[in-house]
Chain A
Amino acid sequence: MASQRVLPQSKETLLQNYNKRLKDDIKSILDNFTEIIKTAKIEEETQVSRPTQAEQDHYEMHVRAANIVRAGESLMKLVSDLKQFLILNDFPSVNDAISLQNQQLRSLQDECDKKLTALRDEIAIDLYELEEEYYSSSYSLWDTSDVPLCEAFRRPDTWTSPDSSCSSPSEEREEVDGAPDSNPQHQLNGHSTASEKP
């Protein structure tokens, strides 16, 4: 059994108010309904004349019925206040909702990035083949001293490690870009690192 938390005065007062409203409204509904049923009972004639008594009973029933409806509406208002209080102050459920939302957003982000990475790999493979075709054709504008990527890949002496024949084109490009001083005489892919231009 959880011990009573020490709430701020306003929150505790508010919850006590909710309890009081609940008890009062339920009591109002039950009492007024009971009195209506009692009033409906046919009684012996009293000193008051029959039309007067009927008028009085009619008015009393009218008021009690209105009290029942008022209590019902007050209960609806109480439910609305409780819903609002629950949304704002029910921390376990708010935490659950936040963690669920975070999980969904992260999974969407991961899926998006995974697909982009797969797309990048496919395009890198196609780009390698296209470059090979382009730089081996007569349309390319590179100098004879330029080494296209596919050619650089084939020449083992271009690389520091001759056995790196299985690396991907993007990795090769990154390796070459990262080591500009390894072969100062070769320019890659038509992009001259020297001052001369095609």
Chain B
Amino acid sequence: MANERLRALEEVEKEIAMTLQCAGNIVLELSKDKHNASFLDRQLLQFQTSVNRVESELSGQIRYLTQVATGQPHEGSTYSARKDCQMALNRAEYAKVKLGELGRTCEVMLEQQQQQQPL
């Protein structure tokens, strides 16, 4: 849910850039001797759509925040679950180390046996 709102705000940023781009295209087209009317109409429509979309989206976000914000700091945390998970991973790592030691001990014993056998 948080990601959707943040993505919506990123889309708004793109819309703002689009608005300025359209305004620049319109002025550029007007500066020419012969204007392309259809191009001007399209750019103008896009400019108006972008401005309205930016305004409505940002108003909606501000309205949502007015309803949701409490003014208090959030005191939630994932610390306990993260610590438990870290302990579980430590247990697994410790078991791995101990099994490694056991394996090396067995290999040493086997090598000693193989060395003694030819004699």
Contacts and interface: CB of A to CB of B under 8 A. Distances in A.
Interface in A96-128: 96-98, 101-102, 105-106, 108-109, 112-113, 115-116, 119
Interface string B32-65: 0000000000000001000100110011011011
A167 interface: no
Given A37-B30, A82-B9, A106-B84, A72 B16 contact: yes
Contacts of A178: none
Interface majority SS (helix, strand, loop, mixed), chain A: helix
A142 interface: no
Contact of A83 (B6, B51, B74, B76): B6
B14 to A, nearest CB: 10
A67 to B, nearest CB: 11
Given A15-B69, A18-B62, A22-B62, A93 B85 contact: no
Contact of A76 (B16, B26, B55): B16
A69 B23 CA distance: 10
Interface string B58-80: 11011011111111001011100
A105 B27 contact: no
Interface in A1-16: 2, 4-5, 7-8, 10-12, 15
Contact of A106 (B1, B69, B76, B81): B81
A113 B90 CA distance: 11
B110 interface: no
Give the contact-size bracket for chain A: 35 or more
B97 interface: no
Given A72-B19, A91-B74, A112-B88, A105 B81 contact: yes
Given A37-B30, A98-B77, A5 B69 contact: yes
A59 interface: no
A159 interface: no
Contact of B9 (A86, A109, A113): A86
Contacts of B64: 90
Contact of B2 (A5, A7, A97, A112): A97
Given A11-B69, A36-B27, A89-B69, A22 B58 contact: yes
Interface in B71-106: 71, 74, 76-78, 81-82, 84-85, 87-89, 91-92, 95
24 contacts: A5-B67, A7-B71, A15-B62, A15-B65, A26-B54, A37-B26, A75-B58, A79-B9, A82-B62, A83-B6, A86-B5, A86-B6, A86-B9, A86-B65, A94-B74, A98-B77, A98-B78, A102-B78, A105-B78, A105-B82, A105-B85, A112-B91, A115-B92, A116-B88
Interface of B: 1-2, 5-6, 9, 12-13, 16-17, 19-20, 23, 26-27, 30, 47, 51, 54-55, 58-59, 61-62, 64-71, 74, 76-78, 81-82, 84-85, 87-89, 91-92, 95
